[in-house]
Amino acid sequence: MPLHQQWFGGFVFGGKIHPMQLNLALAQINTTLGDVQANLDKHLSLIAEAQKGDADLVIFPELSLTGYVLQDLVPTVSHRSTNDDLVFKQLLKASQDVDLVVGFVDEDSRHRFYIASAYLSGGEVLHVHHKVYLPTYGLFDEGRFFAWGDSVRAFDTRFGRMGILICEDFWHASPPYLLWLDGADVLLFASASPGRGLNDSEKLESARWVENVNRSYANLFTCFVAHSNRVGYEDGLNFWGGATVFDPNGERVAQGPYFEEALTIATLDLNQLHRTRARLPLLRDERTALVQRELARIIANER
Amino acid sequence: MNVDLTINPDLARKILTGFIKSEITRVGFSRAVVNLSGGLDSSLSCALAAEALGPENVLALCLPYRTSSPESLEHAQMVIEQFKVRSETIDITDMVDPFIRRDPQMPDIRKGNIMARARMVLLYDQTEVFNGLAVGTSNKTEILLGYSTLWGDSAAAMNPIGDLYKTQVRQLARAMGIPSAIIDKPPSADLWAGQTDEGELGFTYEEVDKLLYLLVDQRYSPQECVEAGFAGHFVEKVVNRIRRSQFKRMLPPIAKVSNRTVGYDFLYLRDWGT
């Protein structure tokens, strides 16, 4: 172990000292459809509970402040992640003590509504991700009610660089890949994933799919992948929970229960990044210029 | 072609009991009423409701007509005793016969519809008495085939088993300990003596469930189903039944004249605000 890590109990990155461990709390909650105040109250009580468990970061699922199948409720439940917003004022205050990822409907200054997740830390908004892939097929109708996000960006936190994606975003391979290249070592995934595909397996097809790809991203990108998925029902839809954290070796570090509210706490040993990437330098060897060149050719040929 | 409709009963049970509990308690109720015929579907709905809410919070309504098979009532009683739910038996003969007497030529189908709708009236009336919600008993096979009476046996506040094919209902019923006499008997609406579902439909649930699974769940074209080994006339009959019964699977369309119309652009879940 390098000397500075022994001395500081952390590693130095970009001139800042980062802790070696991250206590992650995955809050797989049920929500009240369209009742932001009721959901906020639940957030605040779970944040308090997570703090008792020494959590450094609490991750709430997709649209955790509003519920999922909002339809015509969308314009009535939107908020801005600023200190003059009554809901975010309380969440930002709570983030003085513990970092938070919360899901909400973001209304921009031009009154477009986005499915959003915000990273709050030390009373500040470090990052807001707008969902870039809105499923509008099968049982989903997000594109009818929401605007499409238009960026995938990693951001720095006191635990290192991270990235946020929301549900369908990581059903596509490119957003996690972009976050990886943009420096994210911890991928934070938030979902409101309706359970479907009952067969003879002990898990629903949708749950197996998500767990398989999350493990694969951890393997492919030699990074941490944490997934917080809601539970409960909205009309006939069930949400299956089952929060997971995979480490840079693709090993499951934590597993929440299925179909029940829970706060799953996982301790991430951030030095695992060092050990895995020393063994398996996939990031070092990634040929981004080649990807760019070939993508440019493919896109040009599509026209 | 091997079509496997096997389900994991533990997982189904967890999701469906959770659904019943959620959909009843979130709107301020704690109780359910189920029309229990003594057949497979209603026995399963009753057992699921009992597990979800506690048996003391479930009222099983037995609503025989004078031509109903005595065996049906016996089977209903087995379920009531096994799952320890509350029960009430109301003979519908005196309510139904005045309708039937108005037309001496009345065919069985009309009589059956009147019985099914009389049972619906009593079901909803008892939800008021018992302060509960009506739990439905229609399975996916009969919903897709339109094999039900509109506003009759299809009427309920929620349906826990409507996404399970009949053969999957059997699997879950077996796992929940429904008596085998109920699981193994020929399914029947028991609206007149000797009636069976499979006799009326002209095919077995075993056959049609596999075809429906390919057509609906796996999005096979009718032609692909024929190529997979199903008889052409059978595929055609089933496809037509599905199309012609679409009206039974939706609320009546409202003629749109305003800028915002219920059913088109006034969109909220039932669970709005809960």
A71/B18 CB distance under 8 A: no
Q: What is the pLDDT of residue B186?
A: 93
Rounded Cα distance between B130 and A230, Å, is 33
Paired tokens of B60: 């099983």
B86-89: strand order across its sheet: B86-89, B58-62, B32-35, B133-134
A1-15, A247-261, A266-280, B144-158: range with lowest mean pLDDT: A1-15
Pick from B37, B46, B43, B41: which is nearest to B65 by CA? B37
Count the domains in chain B: 1
Average of per-residue pLDDT across B79-95: 98
A50: which DSSP letter?
A: H
Closest approach of chain B CAs to the CA of A186, in angstroms? 32
Report if residue B136 sits inside a domain. yes
Paired tokens of A9: 């109990």
With a cut of 50, say whether residue A36 has pLDDT above it. yes
Looking from the CA of A246 toward its CB, the CA atoms found within 13 Å total 23
- Supply the mean pLDDT for chain A: 94
Q: Which of A69, A201, A232 sits opposite B269 (nearest CB)?
A: A69
Confidence grade of residue A14 (pLDDT, cut at 50, 70, 90): low
Closest approach of chain B CAs to the CA of A197, in angstroms? 9
Q: What is the pLDDT of residue A6?
A: 42
A73/B10 CB distance under 8 A: no
Report if residue B68 sits inside a domain. yes
Paired tokens of B199: 């006799």
A198/B14 CB distance under 8 A: no
Q: What is the pLDDT of residue A127?
A: 98
Rounded Cα distance between A68 and B159, Å, is 21
With a cut of 80, say whether residue A8 has pLDDT above it. no
A224 touches A248 (CB < 8 A): yes
B8/A232 CB distance under 8 A: no
Q: B246-267 burial, b for 16+ CB within 10 Å, e for fewer?
A: eebeeeeeeeeeeeeeeeeeeb
> Is B251 in a helix, a strand, or coil?
coil
Q: What is the pLDDT of residue A303?
A: 66
Cβ partners under 8 Å of residue B80, min gap 6 = B36, B60, B62, B87
Q: What is the pLDDT of residue A15?
A: 58
pLDDT, tens digit, for every residue of B158-199?
Answer: 999 999 999 999 999 999 999 999 999 999 988 888 889 999
Interface residues on A facing B, Cβ-Cβ cutoff 8 A: 32-35, 69, 71-73, 195, 198-204, 232-236, 238, 258-259
B7/A35 CB distance under 8 A: no
> Is B248 in a helix, a strand, or coil?
helix
A195/B15 CB distance under 8 A: yes
Report if residue B215 sits inside a domain. no
What are the chain B neighbours of A35 within 8 Å (beta carbons)? 273
Q: Which of A73, A200, A201 sits opposite B272 (nearest CB)?
A: A73
Which residue of chain B has the CA closest to A235?
B271
Closest approach of chain A CAs to the CA of B24, in angstroms? 11
Please count the residue pairs, one from chain A and one from chain B, whose beta carbons lie less than 8 angstroms apart: 63
Report if residue B220 sits inside a domain. no
Per the structure, the complete domain to which residue B195 belongs is given by 9-199
With a cut of 90, say whether residue A1 has pLDDT above it. no
Rounded Cα distance between A76 and A66, Å, is 10
With a cut of 70, say whether residue B134 has pLDDT above it. yes
> What's the N-to-C CA distance of chain B in angstroms?
45
Q: What is the DSSP string of B2-26?
A: -------HHHHHHHHHHHHHHHHHT
Q: How many residues does chain A have?
A: 303
Q: How many other β-carbons are positioned within 10 Å of the β-carbon of residue A132?
A: 20
B68 touches B189 (CB < 8 A): no
pLDDT, tens digit, for every residue of B197-255?
Answer: 999 999 999 999 999 999 999 999 999 999 999 999 999 999 999 999 999 999 999 99
Which residue of chain A has the CA closest to B217?
A197
What are the chain B neighbours of A236 within 8 Å (beta carbons)? 19, 158, 163
Average of per-residue pLDDT across A139-168: 98
Which CATH number covers residue B84? 3.40.50.620
B270 touches B246 (CB < 8 A): no
B273/A34 CB distance under 8 A: yes
In terms of C-beta density within 10 A (0-12 exposed, 13-18 middle, 19 or more buried), how is residue A214 classed?
buried
A139 touches A168 (CB < 8 A): no
Closest approach of chain A CAs to the CA of B102, in angstroms? 41
Report if residue B93 sits inside a domain. yes
CATH class of A19-302: alpha beta
Q: Which of A71, A203, A232 sits opposite B269 (nearest CB)?
A: A71
Rounded Cα distance between B195 and B179, Å, is 21
B272/A199 CB distance under 8 A: no
